């Protein structure tokens, strides 16, 4: 079998990295049905926490950074400074949130495996999709019925 890159035109033709079958040193111990139920509950809790963190992207994070930006603008009398602080703060908050979500996703995979499922992939993509639909629905509901596109539905001032 030719595996030297100089023999194969510079290509590695063996197994792709990360595709080797899983081999345990010893078979995992079965800890009982109660332990698996606890692990399933923990997995559900972690999934719920992922949904909550994702929903923070659709309201609390942007509103908080708009408020902070307005405070900076009030102190410095510079609208540009307020916008820059709000934008960069929101950007770094979203990146930090993604890092937290990734760690939660990896924890969810491990807890699902402990619960007896052959879990190989996470839920972060599906959670993003569901929370995007929920967030967009709430935003457009607010925009059309509360926010100001329909002044006749807004309470009188």
Domain positions in the chain: 33-141
Which pLDDT score, from 0 to 100, does residue 115 have?
A: 85
For 20-79, the pLDDT digits (tens) are: 777 767 766 777 888 888 999 999 999 999 999 998 988 899 999 999 999 999 999 999
pTM given for the model: 0.71
Residue 98 has pLDDT above 60, yes or no: yes
Work out the mean pLDDT of the chain and round it to a whole number. 84
pLDDT of residue 15: 62
Please give the average per-residue pLDDT across 123-138, as a whole number: 91
Percent of the chain with pLDDT over 90: 50
CA distances, 62 to each of 15, 89, 126, 135 (Å): 45, 9, 22, 13
CA torsion angle 124 127 131 132 (round to 10): 60
Q: What is the pLDDT of residue 142?
A: 82
């Amino acid at each position: 079998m030719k595996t030297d890159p100089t023999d194969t035109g510079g290509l590695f033709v063996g197994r792709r990295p990360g595709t080797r079958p899983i081999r345990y040193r010893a078979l995992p111990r079965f800890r009982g049905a109660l332990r698996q139920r606890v692990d399933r509950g923990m997995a559900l809790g972690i999934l719920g926490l992922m949904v909550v963190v994702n929903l923070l992207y659709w309201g609390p994070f942007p509103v908080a950074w708009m408020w902070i930006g307005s405070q900076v603008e009030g102190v410095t009398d510079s609208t540009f400074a307020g916008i820059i602080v709000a934008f960069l703060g929101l950007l770094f908050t979203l990146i930090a949130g993604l890092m937290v979500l990734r760690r939660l996703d990896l924890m969810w995979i491990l807890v699902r495996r402990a619960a007896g499922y052959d879990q190989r992939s996470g839920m972060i993509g599906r959670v993003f999709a569901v929370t995007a639909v929920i967030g967009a629905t709430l935003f457009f509901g607010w925009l059309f019925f509360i926010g100001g596109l329909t002044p006749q539905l807004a309470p009188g001032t």
